[in-house]
Amino acid sequence: METKLWREYDYILAGCVTILVIFGTTMVYTATFNNGPLQILFPRHIINVIVGLVGMVIFTVFDYRQLSGLARPLYIGIIGLLLLVHVSGEVSSGAQSWINLGARTIQPSEFAKIVMIIVLAAYWSRFEQNLDDIRVHIGSLLLIGVPMILVLLQPDFGTALVFAAIWLAMAVTAGLRWYYLLGLFVLAIPACYLGWWYVLEDYQRTRLSTFYWLLVDPSLVDRTDEAYNIIQSLNAISAGGLFGTGLGRGLMSQGSYIPVQYSDFIFAVVGEELGFVGSCALLLFLGLLLWSTLNIAERTKHLFGRLIVVGVFGMSLCHILVNIGMNMSIMPVTGIPLPFISYGGSFTITMLVAIGLIESIAMRGKGMTF
C-alpha cells in the first residue's frame, strides 16, 4: 500500500520547490550579508526553512482526509489567535500583526491562510450535493469574512487581498456561477469606497494613489516615500541588464538603496544581480510550481482534496503576481512576500507545509487507497 502511495508522489513539484528554496536562500543571503543590521536575518531564514521542510515532510506522510474533521477546531483556534493579535500583538511596519514569543515572533495571519483553505474545503465538501444553492456560497463568504476583517483591522491590506484570492479560486472550483460573481463585484464597489475612507490607514491610501499616478503620469509623483521605493526597485531591475551584475555585486542591492530588499523587493535584487536571464529562470520555476499544482488538482477525484490544492494555487498566484508586480510598478505596494524567495518566518513555514499537504493529496487523492 505504501509503495503505491509513493508512486503517486509528484517529484516534479518537489524538485521545483527544492530549486526555489535554494534560489531563495541564496538571494536572502546576498540581500543581507553586506548589511550589518540585516545579517541576523540569514541564520533565522535557515531555521525557518528547516522548520518548514520538517512540516512539509510531516504533512506529506499525514493523510490529508483526516483534516476534514479538524476544520472546526482549526477555525476557532485561528480566530482566537487573530483576536489575540489585536489584544497583545506587536506592531511592525505600521501593522499589529505579530505575537511575540520571546526570542521569536509569529504572524498568525500567515498560518490563517492555510487554515482557511482547509476550513473552506471542508465546508464546501460537506455541501457537495448542494453547490448550486447560493446560500452555501454565502456561508463560505461569512466563514472567510471574519478572519479577513480581523486582518484588515491590523491593518494588513495585502494579506486580506490574499484571503480574497483564496476564496475566489476555491469558489469557482466549487461551482459558483459567473452571474453570482458579477453580483458580488457590484456589491463590492460601495464596500471598497467605505473601506478606502474608514478602514485603510493614510499610508495605505498613499500607496494606492502613488501606484495610480505612476501609471497615469509618473512626472506628477513626488519622488519620495512610496514613489521612491518603486523607483529604486525599477532602477535596480534596469541596472541588471541581460545577465546582471553578479551575486553580491549589485550597486543598488548592496548599497541598501532598495527598500526591504530581503522580502518585499527581493525580485529587484534578482533583477539587478542576475539580470533578465536570472529573472526569467525564476519566473520559469514559479510557473512550473503553479502548473504542477493545477495538474494535481485536475487529477484529484475528491472535492475536499481538489479544493485544498486550488486554494494553495490561489494563494501562491496572488503572492507571485502582487510581489513581482509591485517590484515592476504594475501593482500597488502591499508588502506581501514572494513564495520561497523572500525572507519570512511564518510565511515560509506556511508555504512549505502547504506543499506537503498538496503532496499528500497527490498520493491519496485518486480514490485508490481508501
Stretches where the chain sits below pLDDT 50 are: 1, 368-370
Closest C-alpha to 361, from 317, 281, 307, 282: 307
Q: Mark out the alpha helices in the chain (DSSP H runs).
A: 2-7, 11-32, 41-61, 71-88, 108-126, 134-152, 157-173, 178-198, 202-216, 225-240, 251-254, 266-299, 303-327, 345-364
Specify the residue for cell string 515532510: 57
Amino acid at 232: Q
Specify the residue for cell string 513555514: 349
CA dist list (Å): 279 to 173, 198, 286, 368: 31, 39, 11, 40
Global confidence as pTM: 0.91
Mapping DSSP to helix (H, G, I), strand (E, B) and coil, where does residue 144 land?
helix
**Which residues lie below 8 Å from residue 80, measured CB to CB, with a gap of 6+?**
none
pLDDT value for 211? 66
Instruction: Tell me phi and psi for residue 110, to 5 degrees.
Output: -70, -45
Residue 223: count other Cβ atoms within 10 Å of its Cβ: 11
pLDDT value for 88? 79
pLDDT value for 370? 35
Q: How far apart are CA 25 and CA 17, in angstroms?
A: 12
pLDDT value for 147? 94
pLDDT value for 199? 65
Average pLDDT, the chain: 87
SS (H, E, C) 290-315: HHHHHHHHHHCCCHHHHHHHHHHHHH
Q: Convert 148-179 to b/e letters by CB count within 10 Å (16 or more is b).
A: bebbbebbbbbbbbbbebbbebbbebbebeee
